[in-house]
Amino acid sequence: MHSLSEQTVLKHGELIWKEFIEPFGNELKEAYPRLRDSCMLFGQATLAFDAGARMGAVILCRTALESALYTLRYTKRKGLMSWDLLEPPRNEKCEYEMVPLTKLLKFIKNKVTMDQLCELNRIKEDGDFVAHIADRLNREILQAETIEQMGKVRLWISDEEALKDLKGTAMLLQVLGNIAAKEPFLKAEELER
């Protein structure tokens, strides 16, 4: 943990990034190449937060986690720092389909704790809120029948919520990195497919 004097010099996002990336240089170095894109997206989230773009930080957190889950689901480890791509799902026209985050959450649910799954869902919901803000605001305002209900309409992501998303994403990417690092290698017959 950093001292209070260091915290005044470093911004919150920068602090979170430094605490996050350190394990990837040591115990999670095998997972980094596989989760590189997710880590870069998370780095962008920390920069966005420090620049005051809280809503951007939130959606980047969601995207970093979705990227990590997709990578874990559709790649398999074949060597110390290498992996094979697996065939993603196709539709009836044989076109590759987008894999929704809800499907990826089903894939990971037995590999993480219930608290971690709840954290994944919370960050997903915050990211979805930002991605669909106009639609959600319109529906919630139109559905509000009283002034009291109107006052409960979520209008924004607070600084505290965005900071919580950054911290949660850092923790979850480390968990997913541990899962990736402990995944067994593909067997020889699986490599020949």
CA distances from 75 to 19, 45, 78, 180 (A): 27, 24, 9, 10
Q: What is the mean pLDDT of residues 74-79?
A: 75
> 45, 16 in Cβ contact below 8 A?
no
Residue 179 has pLDDT above 80, yes or no: yes
Looking at every residue in the chain, the average pLDDT score rounds to 84
What is residue 144's three-state secondary structure?
coil
> 65, 167 in Cβ contact below 8 A?
no
Domain limits, the chain: 4-187
8 pLDDT band (50/70/90 cuts)?
A: very low
Q: Give tens-digit pLDDT for 92-131.
A: 888 888 888 999 999 999 999 999 999 999 999 999 999 9
Alpha-carbon gap, residue 181 to 106, rounded angstroms: 20
Instruction: List beta partners, residue 83.
Output: 77
pTM given for the model: 0.82
3 pLDDT band (50/70/90 cuts)?
A: very low
> 53, 26 in Cβ contact below 8 A?
no
DSSP assignment of 44-100 equals HHHHHHHTT-HHHHHHHHHHHHHHHHHHHHHEEEEETTEEEEPPPPB-TTSPBPP--
> 83, 34 in Cβ contact below 8 A?
yes
> 57, 17 in Cβ contact below 8 A?
no
Alpha-carbon gap, residue 65 to 32, rounded angstroms: 14
